[in-house]
Structure 1
Amino acid sequence: MSTQLEALPHRHVLTLPAMPAAVRTARQTAEQALAEWGINPRHPAIGPALLILSELVTNSVRHAAILSPQLTVIYAAGEDTLAFAVHDRHPHQPALYATVTDAASGGLATVMELTLGLGGTAVVRGDADGRGKSIWITLPL
Structure 2
Amino acid sequence: MSYRHVLSVPAMGSAVRIARETAELVLVECGVGLRHPSVGPGLLILAELVTNSVRHAVVLSPMITVTFAHGAGAYAFAVHDRHPYQPALFGALATAPGSGLATVVEMTMELGGTAVVRPDADGHGKSIWITLPL
Please report the TM-score for the alignment, with normalisation by the length of structure 2.
0.96
Letter in structure 2 aligned against 1:135: I
Q: Secondary structure at the match of 1:96?
A: coil
Query: Does 2:13 align with 1:20?
Result: yes
C-alpha distance in 1, partners of 2:70/2:40?
15
Deviation at 1:40, TM superposition (A): 1.1
Q: Secondary structure at the match of 2:87?
A: coil
Pairing of 1:25-40 with structure 2 (within 5 A): 25-40=18-33
The alignment's C-alpha RMSD in Å is 1.1
What is the match of residue 78 of structure 1?
71
Deviation at 1:70, TM superposition (A): 0.3
**Aligned residue pairs, count:** 134
Deviating runs (4+, > 6 A) in structure 1?
none
Give % identity.
65
What is the match of residue 136 of structure 1?
129
Q: Secondary structure at the match of 1:72?
A: strand
Deviation at 1:104, TM superposition (A): 5.2
Pairing of 1:59-70 with structure 2 (within 5 A): 59-70=52-63
What is the match of residue 9 of structure 1?
2
C-alpha distance in 2, partners of 1:102/1:50?
24
Letter in structure 2 aligned against 1:18: A
Letter in structure 2 aligned against 1:88: D
Pairing of 1:31-110 with structure 2 (within 5 A): 31-103=24-96, 106-110=99-103
Q: Secondary structure at the match of 1:135?
A: strand
Structure 1: runs of 5 or more not aligned: 1-7
